[in-house]
């Protein structure tokens, strides 16, 4: 065989090899999806590093538990993104022998499939537990401007099993006393809000949340109950005084039903603490 022929054969083999590797490594994701997932992965890794540094400086067991929960959530989400970006190729099932007797290929495939299903189920349950454990039952107090009135409310936050991307869901129930420009008229509003908690890096560099819900004026100083209203809000959260300090901006409407409604901006500051 001439040198020229040998070179052609070698080049052909190399092209076939590289072509096979390229086909094997070709991602099933589009370029836009890859860029999006890599950006999300970088945010989760940055947040894990930030929380780990914060954990070293925290001594209170309650706050340490909250930080560890957030680290676990970010790790679970980062793992999910890595599995999308870098999926592992399926390994062919090999015959398994037991006590010298070979198990058929069909039986080995069934066995391996069952193991994979069990592992996937266990991983899914673990991730679900991690996500749910991040949100805790909390009680707190908040005061400021509510829908054009001056208000002071007590609240309780109850975690839900819903997860929307990076956000966890919480229901907030609050009630208290509000007073409008007319000092003679006072209201007792009861609020129910759905809140979505976002980790740092989403909207702002700190823990934050978006929410909205309905309110009902249960009583007034005129002796009459009101009707339904509503509110929207955005809040930021920070550690402090052994719990969590939060500030909230929004807009709301309180309706008495027999006098002009109270409408306006909401500017509230509050403190809350985990129950368990």
Q: What is the pLDDT of residue 82?
A: 81
CA distance 265 to 149: 9
Across 32-137, the runs of DSSP E, i.e. the strands, are 97-98, 101-102
pLDDT for 97 equals 42
Q: What is the pLDDT of residues 188-245, one digit of tens each?
A: 999 999 999 998 878 888 899 999 999 999 999 888 899 999 999 999 999 888 899 9
What is the model's pLDDT at position 257? 85
**Residue 65: its pLDDT value, please?**
84
Burial label, 156 (beta-carbon count in 10 A; 0-12, 13-18, 19+): middle
User: How many whole angstroms separate alpha carbon 171 and alpha carbon 156?
Assistant: 8
pLDDT 10s digits, 108-135: 334 343 433 443 444 444 444 444 344 5
Spatial separation of the C-alpha atoms in residues 229 and 189, rounded to whole Å: 10
pLDDT-derived band at 267 (thresholds 50, 70, 90) equals very high
Kindly report, residue by residue over 156-185, the tens digit of the pLDDT.
999 998 888 888 999 999 999 999 887 778
- Is the pLDDT at 255 greater than 90? The verdict is yes
Average pLDDT along the chain: 77
CB proximity list for 19: less than 8 A, separation 6 or greater:
none
pLDDT band at 107 (very low <50, low <70, confident <90, very high): very low
Task: Check pLDDT > 60 for residue 73.
Answer: yes
Query: Strand, helix or coil at 253?
Result: strand
pLDDT of residue 134: 46
Q: DSSP letter at 152?
A: E
CA distance 192 to 111: 50
The arithmetic mean of pLDDT across residues 47-53, rounded, is 85
Residues, the chain, total?
276
Q: Residue range 94-98: average pLDDT?
A: 45
Q: Which two tokens stand for residue 29?
A: 């994701």
pLDDT value of residue 23: 41
Percent of the chain with pLDDT over 70: 72
* Backbone phi, psi, residue 28, to 5°: -85, -5
SS3 128: helix
CA–CA distance from 180 to each of 80, 212, 231 (Å)?
Answer: 50, 22, 17
With a pLDDT cut of 90, the percent of the chain lying above it is 35
How far is it, in rounded angstroms, from Cα 107 to Cα 104? 5
35/6: higher pLDDT = 35
Question: 150: exposed, middle or buried (C-beta count within 10 Å: 0-12, 13-18, 19+)?
Answer: middle
The yes-or-no verdict on residue 274 having pLDDT over 80 is yes
- How many C-beta neighbours within 10 Å does residue 258 have? 11
């Amino acid at each position: 065989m001439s040198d020229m022929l040998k070179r052609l054969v070698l080049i052909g083999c190399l092209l076939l090899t590289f072509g096979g590797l390229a086909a094997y490594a070709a991602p099933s994701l589009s370029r836009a999806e890859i860029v999006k997932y890599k950006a999300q992965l970088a945010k989760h890794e940055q947040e894990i590093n930030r929380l780990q540094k914060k954990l070293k400086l925290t001594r209170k067991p309650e706050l340490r538990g909250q930080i560890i929960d957030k680290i676990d959530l970010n790790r679970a989400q980062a793992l999910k993104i890595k599995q999308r970006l870098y999926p592992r190729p399926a390994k062919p099932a090999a015959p398994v022998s037991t006590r010298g007797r070979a198990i058929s290929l069909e039986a080995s495939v069934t066995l391996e499939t069952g193991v994979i299903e069990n592992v996937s189920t266990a991983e899914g349950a673990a991730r679900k537990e991690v996500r749910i454990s991040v949100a805790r039952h909390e009680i707190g107090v908040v005061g400021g401007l509510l829908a054009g009135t001056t208000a002071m409310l007590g609240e309780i936050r109850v975690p839900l099993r819903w997860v929307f991307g990076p956000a966890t869901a919480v229901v907030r129930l609050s009630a208290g006393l509000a007073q409008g420009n007319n000092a003679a008229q006072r209201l007792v509003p009861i609020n129910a809000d759905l809140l979505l908690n976002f980790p740092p890096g989403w909207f702002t560099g700190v823990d934050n949340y978006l929410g909205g819900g309905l309110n009902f004026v249960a009583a007034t100083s005129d002796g009459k109950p009101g009707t339904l209203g509503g509110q929207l809000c955005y809040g930021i959260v920070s550690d402090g005084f052994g719990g969590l300090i939060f500030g909230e901006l929004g807009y709301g409407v309180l309706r008495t039903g027999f006098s002009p409604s109270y409408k306006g901006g909401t500017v509230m500051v509050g403190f809350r603490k985990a129950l368990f």
